[in-house]
Structure 1
């Protein structure tokens, strides 16, 4: 089976390293596609206006593209997909809806690794919208690579991303921007942990984090919560403190 990975960035390469099948890479950055193809002994698919420059088909197509472009990519690549399409974009509702519309009689899935590729393996959210003999072996390969695949729905996933990605990233970035430079000895376990998180977040791709904020809108909710904390005092602050504690417990947080 030939799997064409559309997008030769980190996530596309992560997938290529986890599956055992014939691969092809396509990317609007031809140099990136060629480099990925060389790394994984794969074919390079020349593009014209974002799609293959010659008419051909692939048994499976994976869209490792930015979130804002995934629905358009589904439409662009549906004619080149014989049996199955799935995406790694990180937003599931528009991806799944577009695949249902464009590929009603073919296998479909949306997959979101909840980690940076350098920290693989880890948890992988999966919407197995229509999965059969083509996609099942690919999902099994991801499990064999040590990943924990769990099923979800597009709505549940996207709602969760507002908290676990958008609001979390906004909080960490805001802390880093507001923090003063202090000697290491002054750090508490909480502030040292935040400093480590800020380092993790800021070593990634700013465009990816921007896409997450635009898609899931976490910063606005964080700003509103920060204003509540800043304005509270006395009993009102104690009430907010208790509310935050209950929320942390519900989220599965642990005390120091």
Structure 2
């Protein structure tokens, strides 16, 4: 199988570890493409080439803000199947259908950084076929769990588990003052660890999420309600925040 991976960043390279056969990388950063190709014994697609390029599978692994343009540019290179692992689903699925209506299509979102693999992978199969089935088999053989979903369900969930979650963690990091050693509590220590985890990453990744998905505004709204709540309102909000599973256990 001949595979073109568009995007030679961390996730594009992660996808390459699951792909048997020949691999070609494309990236606007040619040095990144060459580095990825060297690591995975692959080749590099030269930018600006006018020659027709044919690949059995094309994987789109670019930032969410570039996914539509990238599919429009490289979709025609896919002869049998095209997939994306960008982190958003509705946009790439719509674009892949428009550009590649007659071939296999799917959107995957690994809910982890490569160094934390394996993990859960929400999946939408838009047009099934043997290559898509093989990709899923590759993922599962590495210990990943496929989570069938819809584009709407996935993108709505990202508002909570990514946009809102990241906002809450970063806001905590900005709001707290330094305290003497030994003053941490189990909760504050956990939050401090989360702040460290988030802020030692790439800010562009988190910015992309904030720009793509709603959720931050609800965190700000809830924080304001908590800050101004009287006793009765605070208790009400406290119980509303308790996960449903915890409620069912306590009852």
Pairwise TM-score range, normalised by the shorter structure? over 0.9
1:183 to 2:180 alignment: yes
Give the distance between the partners of 2:144 and 2:247, measured in 1 at CA.
21
Q: Which among 82, 89, 95 is matched to residue 85 of structure 1?
A: 82
Match in the other structure for 1:64: 61
**Does 2:212 match 1:220?**
no
Q: How does 1:1-256 map to 2 (within 5 A)?
A: 1-48=1-48, 52-245=49-242, 248-249=243-244
Q: Which range moves more in the overlay, 171-180 or 74-83?
A: 74-83
Larger displacement relative to structure 2 (18-27 or 159-168): 18-27
Q: How many positions carry a matched residue from both structures?
A: 250
Would the alpha carbon gap of residues 98 and 254 (structure 1) be closer, same or farther in structure 2, given more than 3 Å must change?
A: farther
CA gap of 1:139–1:70, structure 2 versus 1, over 3 A, is same
Rounded Cα–Cα distance in structure 1 between residues aligned with 2:112 and 2:180: 30
| Cα distance change on mapping 1:92 and 1:138 into 2, 3 Å | same
Residue 70 of structure 1 deviates from its aligned partner by 0.8
Q: Name the SS of the counterpart of 1:185 in structure 2.
A: coil
Aligned-residue CA RMSD (Å): 1.8
Unpaired stretches in structure 1, ≥5 consecutive residues: none
Please give the secondary structure, in 1, of the residue aligned with 2:4.
strand
C-alpha displacement of 1:236:
1.4
Q: Describe the superposition over 1:129-179 as per-residue Cα deviations: whole angstroms up to 9, x where unpaired.
A: 112112211211111011111110000000000000000000000001111
Residue by residue over 1:56-79, the C-alpha shift from the partner in whole angstroms, topping out at 9 and shown as x without a partner, is: 111110000111111121111122
Q: CA deviation at 1:217?
A: 2.1
> In 2, distance between residues paired with 1:60 and 1:167?
34
SS in 2 for 1:62: strand
C-alpha displacement at 1:197, in angstroms? Answer: 1.0
What is the distance in 2 between the residues matched to 1:97 and 1:89? Answer: 14
User: 2:186 & 2:247 partners in 1: Cα distance?
Assistant: 19
How many Å apart are 1:254 and its aligned residue? 9.8
Does the 8 Å contact 1:47/1:53 carry over to 2? no
Larger deviation, residues 25-34 vs 139-148: 139-148
Q: TM-score, normalised by structure 1?
A: 0.93
